[in-house]
Amino acid sequence: MSGLSRRAEAVATVALAAIAFIIVTGETLPIGLIAEVADGIGATESRVGLTVSWYALIAAASAVPLTRWSSRFDRRRVLLVSAAVFGAGHLLAAGAQDVVMLAAGRGLAALGHGVYFAVAAPAAMRLARPEARGRAGARVMVGGSAALVVGTPLATLLGQVTSWRIAMLAVGVVAVVLGMLVARLMPALPGSSVRGGGASVLSTVRLPGVLAIQGVVLFAVTGHFTLYTYVAPFVEQRFGITGTGLTVLLLAYGAAAVVGSTLAGRMADLRPIAGVRVAAGTFTVALAGVWAAGLLGTAVAGVPLVIIWGGAFSVLNVCVALAVLRRAPGPRAETANAFTGIVFQVGIVSGSALGAAASEAGLLATVPLLTAAAGVLVMAITLLGGHAFAPAEVEPIEDLKPAEVGVGLPRM
């Protein structure tokens, strides 16, 4: 048992989820403000879009080595430093005068991102009672997911009302403040119990169904971010939607994703294989429709399809997360989640780079078709390897000794 009250446990894990929310908001912030950032630093939109790829590349490459290096340190301190490094990167980016300085700030922020997401969910699970550890870890993931559907539109709105620099600055300051709050709320979590290593990664990847799940992650995320990174210039060019209209569209997209997440949870319980196949098919068809509507310049048809795309991708995300937990029993769960995070970042890098290449070549109108093509690959995997998403018995997470938790939270 962790020795924490339910209230203290909830407060600490919600604080961890809040940092996850602000970190993912910062990661995707340039997407809705890509034109404003490009104008502010005198760069092309495609170069600004590549800073999304750069961020994801550094986050993926640094997560494992930095997490292993910091494994001997108290996890509370590691989480605080990660949030502070992320915040400092955004403060630097807010003052960028050219794309090099912007990339430097984004790169620094990404160093904090990778370590935070490697440590936060396991830390939340260590704080929780044995019967609530799954929910505690999921809370952190929900914080990150919610940022894609709420944080990005809000950051876009703030940047449009004020400036993109203010939006960057706000993300950095909030991250540092939340990091200090977590350091105040969390008990000590000694690093000596943190497990990892290349062998555990290899054994996890070899588990039945895991490679199929990772294939869905890679192709779905690559396809998604090929368009999502450039959704602002696409809808402006093809549907004439800008400014407040773009913000409203992103909010509607986010609302669809929230609904999708809710439906996905039910699907995963009742019909997990059918659920992931339906999501993959809807994702593909919606994006093919967006491409066709873009060619015709028909916003009436295109806007609803963009919103459906958001809901379908959210369903895929949740189905994949639950499938990973089913396939990776006991201690392997943390390794599997970390590996999935790396694959996710690789997908962001690949997708945003592919989108940039299409944009540079003047082929922005074809980007939704590229995303739909990735959806076809996802459909193929779910049809041929649907068993990977089937319910499976998993081993319970080992109980932690009270000594591993340290002091409790201050009374509130």
At 139, the amino acid letter reads R
| Domain CATH code at residue 104 | 1.20.1250.20
Q: Is residue 182 part of a domain?
A: yes
pLDDT for residue 283? 94
**The domain containing residue 391 runs over which residues?**
6-404
Distance separating alpha carbons of residues 404 and 396, to the nearest angstrom? 18
Count up the domains in the chain and report the number: 1
Predicted confidence at residue 409, as pLDDT, reads 32
User: Model confidence at 8, in pLDDT bands (50, 70, 90)?
Assistant: low
State residue 269's pLDDT score.
62
Q: What's the whole-model pTM score? A: 0.69
Of 39-43, 175-179, 257-261, where does mean pLDDT reach its minimum? Answer: 257-261
The span from the CA of 319 to the CA of 21, in Å, is 20
Contacts of range 302-306, beta carbons closer than 8 Å, 24 or more positions apart: 302/235, 302/238, 302/239, 303/235, 303/239, 303/241, 303/249, 303/252, 306/231, 306/235, 306/249, 306/253
d(CA 194, CA 199): 15
pLDDT tens per residue across span 313-372? 988 887 787 677 677 655 565 567 667 778 887 888 889 889 888 888 888 899 999 999
Q: Is residue 410 part of a domain?
A: no
Q: Is residue 88 within 8 Å of residue 40, measured between CB atoms?
A: no
What's the token pair of residue 331? 């201690």
**Position 409 in a domain:** no
Residue 366 phi, psi dihedral angles, 5° rounding: -90, -5
| Mean pLDDT, range 85-111, rounded to an integer | 93
Residue 92, pLDDT > 90, answer yes
* Low-confidence winner among 40-49, 68-77, 272-281, 400-409 (lowest mean pLDDT): 400-409
CA 304-30-42 angle, to 5 degrees, is 125
Which of 220, 205, 217 has its CA nearest to residue 327? 205
Residue 1 in any domain: the answer is: no
Q: Note the pLDDT tens digit of each residue in 137-181.
A: 666 777 777 777 778 878 888 998 999 999 999 999 999 999 998
Q: How confident is the model at residue 256 (pLDDT cuts 50, 70, 90)?
A: confident
Nearest-angstrom CA–CA distance, 230 and 361: 14
